[in-house]
Structure 1
Amino acid sequence: MIKPLSWTESGQSVLKLNIRHLWLLGVWPMDDSSSVFKLYTGFTFAVGVWSVAECLLAVYFSWGHIEETTLVLIFTSTCSCGIIKIVFFVRNPQSYSLMVREVAGLMALQNGASSKDPALAAILHDSHKHAFRITRGMLLFMFSQCFIWYPIPIAAHAGERRLPFSQHGWDNNSNFYELSYTLQCVSGLYMSQISFGLDCLFASIMILVAAQLKILRRRILKLHKEVISADGNDSFCRWAQMPADKCYDNMYERLCLCIDSHQNILRFVKHLQVTMSPIAMTQFASSVVIACMALFQSTYGEDISAALKCASYLPIPGGQVYLYCWAANSVTENGESVSTAAYSCPWVECSARFKHALRILIVRAQKPLVLTAGHLYPINRGAFLSLLNASYSYYALLGQINKRQMKDSAQGS
């Protein structure tokens, strides 16, 4: 049984911001989690389910009005995506705790080499800083949408009792207006932040894994120099004076350490793949729908306030997909570079066992480290472009449907 992370342990993790952000939203439990936190998680989930049910009812009453329907479906897709991600997380929270600990273990495995080399230490430091800034920036950008979506109904439709996302066509927003407005704001904030928070968590982990592969590549390239440095003399003249057996034994030992690090990284990537795959697939499907609807509203919407809201929201689904594709592509590229580094190291004069171990490393590193969504769809830059093309295709289809409806309405009148 894997113990949940403690508050202290989360504070020591490089993923501190990601973990505590999800804890604040009632998703990530700590080891001292009580029944109160479980109730909080249930409240978060219930708010999301209520929002989706309200949206589906609103779609039913607005069916046939393509502009109103697509606007509601944007919020419906966002909430549905958040709910599905919560289900995947709550179903196996131990896997996430284990993943955080394994990330710390990977970095600890190469900390010795990084602490002795300023270049490697810089790679590690930059990856930590990059992961933190990506998470902070994306979450703040998502939060900034609240200042656009929430006040616009009051400012642009004063006196009309409009709601931020889905309108109550069954009672014309006349019953429980203030409560409905508040619940839509709360559910929109929670579901969007949870969805984005999990995406940033996986993107941060992939950034750290790519950095570990980059450090490993540099360690392999510097095997020759490390042996000389370990003997106490940085001069390459020392190499010719060292006994051959000692030189090659030292290189072999250091190569074995590199191979051990590589195997640990590969095992972690398999765990990451299993945990991330269903959530990435959920986000890809949701982003295609949201981007299509938001682009349609921005282009064809007659309501200027709705078009403004959708235009400001449009970069978000693309940004979520790009996070996955860019970070996963970085892992793949740095994984392939390990094979090139192994072949480029000074192996010609080395011992037979060194060459044998190096050959095994090269062959294994040549197998691409490809992360997938739903165990079916490769996550890379090509996937990002194909998803954008899919969104545009659906947008063009909606545009044709809208033009046909307008034409039919004009002929009917």
Structure 2
Amino acid sequence: MADGWEEDLEKALTWTESGQSVLKLNIRHLWLFGLWPLYESSAFQLYTVYVYILALWNVTECLLTVYFAWGYMDEVTLVIMSTASHLNGLIKMMFFHYDRRRYNALTRRVASLLSVQSDVCGRESPMAAIVDSSQRHAFRLTLSLLLFMFAQCFVWFPMPLYTHPETRRLPFAQHAWDNNSNLYGLSYFAQCAAGLWTTQISFGLDCLFASAMILVTAQLDILAGRILALKYDTYKEKVEHSEKRPMAKFGDKMYNDLCLCVESHQKILSFVNQLQDTMSPIAMSEFFFSVLVICLGLFQATFNEDFGAVFECASFLPIPCAHVFLYCWAANSVTVQAEGLSAAAYSCSWMEASERFKRAMRILISRAQKPLILTAGHLYPIDKKAFVSLVNASYSYYALLSQTNKR
């Protein structure tokens, strides 16, 4: 039965299902850029192949440029910077298609996650407000970051036409072997298209995981509120007193509600484990390439004498920082909110409760005290400290590169 249920979760997501999901914007954005198929179509498969060809073409051009420009520090580092961004997007695309069934399952599990405490949210408007706020937050964050990424196209793509109108220069990789004389128009289009598609797909996947973590944080917040509401006096007022066993009645009600909280906690933890398995390789790829891009971007903005290159790099530097911060902020919110369950449990009326209530509460507190930490590659913890350490690592590599350049 369990295997059949898992197979149903991993079935290809349909267009109708995507429209009913709280992650609708994330899913359909990835569909728009040729990554996430929402219906069986040979045309869409050809579209996906086209995206892969664009990305491979761009990476190949960049590697050839590095080979022919080797020895020119400014040119090589600028090309490696763009190569890292495009290669990051290409690797993420490959991870997605390798684990596509996990992404379908993750989307369906988000719906199950929201239904875990839907009864409570239906009865209590403050709880429902938390869910609505998290969904709006995830939508607005995704939309704003994707539009910000799209706005970079108007900086990078036309820049060679403004700064070097007298020469034929390309946005990312220059063809040193023929001085950009052959297939200039086609190369210009291919580089712009590849840059747009790979960066949108890369940021789209990051926003997908960040949105899922925002929803998890909201569910943990609701759970903390439910645990905190386990007050002896409150239940005493709700349950009618009888002459025989008034204590047992509201004591049983408190215990049963605590059991429901424990069950909700287990379901949330199960979802986080699935999210971890799906997100881990993508996050690791993002961290590695973002550190590299930040390092090279700082170097270009400091030492390149070409104003166009300096402006491009200075405007692009917030992008890799945003990638890293997005993961670290969202994952840290999950960790902090999970730790708050212990404080909520300790603050409820466990001292006046029955012995079995206390035993169940001890189990909940013990599990909640175990840090709920998401990792990149199942190795590197994702939290605020990780963001600081990654930025510091980028600056260290930049300082080393600067010393090498001065020699």
What's the TM-score, normalizing by structure 1?
0.94
C-alpha change, 1:241 and 1:284, in structure 2 (3 Å) is: farther
**2-structure distance, mates of 1:14, 1:138:** 17
Instruction: Tell me if the contact between 1:107 and 1:212 (Cα under 8 Å) persists in the aligned partners.
Output: yes
**2-structure distance, mates of 1:93, 1:193:** 18
1:8-407 alignment, distance < 5 Å = 8-30=16-38, 32-224=39-231, 227=235, 231=239, 243-404=246-407
**2-structure distance, mates of 1:91, 1:241:** 63
Instruction: Tell me if the contact between 2:239 and 2:250 (Cα under 8 Å) persists in the aligned partners.
Output: no
Could you tell me how far 1:35 is from its partner in structure 2? 2.0
In structure 2, what residue type is equivalent to 1:142? Answer: M
Instruction: Tell me if the contact between 1:131 and 1:207 (Cα under 8 Å) persists in the aligned partners.
Output: yes
Could you tell me how far 1:403 is from its partner in structure 2? 1.3
In structure 2, what residue type is equivalent to 1:323? Answer: L
% identical aligned pairs: 57
**Deviations 1:142-199 (CA, angstroms, capped at 9, x unpaired):** 0000000011101111120100000000000000000000000000000000000000
Instruction: Tell me if the contact between 1:228 and 1:239 (Cα under 8 Å) persists in the aligned partners.
Output: no
Instruction: Tell me if the contact between 1:218 and 1:341 (Cα under 8 Å) persists in the aligned partners.
Output: yes
Instruction: Tell me if the contact between 2:331 and 2:383 (Cα under 8 Å) persists in the aligned partners.
Output: yes
Instruction: Tell me if the contact between 1:102 and 1:268 (Cα under 8 Å) persists in the aligned partners.
Output: yes
Could you tell me how far 1:239 is from its partner in structure 2? 11
SS state at 1:395 partner: helix
C-alpha change, 1:112 and 1:386, in structure 2 (3 Å) is: same
Q: Write out the 4+ residue segments of structure 1 that deviate beyond 6 Å after TM superposition.
A: 238-242
SS state at 1:171 partner: coil
Instruction: Tell me if the contact between 1:15 and 1:201 (Cα under 8 Å) persists in the aligned partners.
Output: yes
**2-structure distance, mates of 1:88, 1:34:** 21
Instruction: Tell me if the contact between 1:220 and 1:255 (Cα under 8 Å) persists in the aligned partners.
Output: yes
C-alpha change, 1:184 and 1:360, in structure 2 (3 Å) is: same
**Deviations 1:196-239 (CA, angstroms, capped at 9, x unpaired):** 0000110110011011001000000012377468649xxxxx89
In structure 2, what residue type is equivalent to 1:9? Answer: E
In structure 2, what residue type is equivalent to 1:305? Answer: G
**2-structure distance, mates of 1:152, 1:239:** 81
Instruction: Tell me if the contact between 2:239 and 2:249 (Cα under 8 Å) persists in the aligned partners.
Output: no
C-alpha change, 1:228 and 1:161, in structure 2 (3 Å) is: farther
Per mean C-alpha deviation after superposition, the further-off stretch among 90-99 and 163-172 is: 90-99
**1-structure distance, mates of 2:252, 2:207:** 43
**2-structure distance, mates of 1:165, 1:358:** 59
Could you tell me how far 1:351 is from its partner in structure 2? 1.4
**1-structure distance, mates of 2:242, 2:261:** 21
Could you tell me how far 1:347 is from its partner in structure 2? 1.0
What's the TM-score, normalizing by structure 2?
0.95
Could you tell me how far 1:301 is from its partner in structure 2? 0.8
**2-structure distance, mates of 1:117, 1:226:** 15
Could you tell me how far 1:240 is from its partner in structure 2? 12
In structure 2, what residue type is equivalent to 1:343? Answer: Y
C-alpha change, 1:303 and 1:4, in structure 2 (3 Å) is: same
Could you tell me how far 1:29 is from its partner in structure 2? 1.4
**Deviations 1:215-274 (CA, angstroms, capped at 9, x unpaired):** 000000012377468649xxxxx8999811010110111111111100001111111111
Corresponding residue number in structure 2 for 1:409: none
C-alpha change, 1:228 and 1:100, in structure 2 (3 Å) is: farther
In structure 2, what residue type is equivalent to 1:19? Answer: I
C-alpha change, 1:72 and 1:258, in structure 2 (3 Å) is: same
Could you tell me how far 1:366 is from its partner in structure 2? 0.7
Instruction: Tell me if the contact between 1:22 and 1:197 (Cα under 8 Å) persists in the aligned partners.
Output: yes
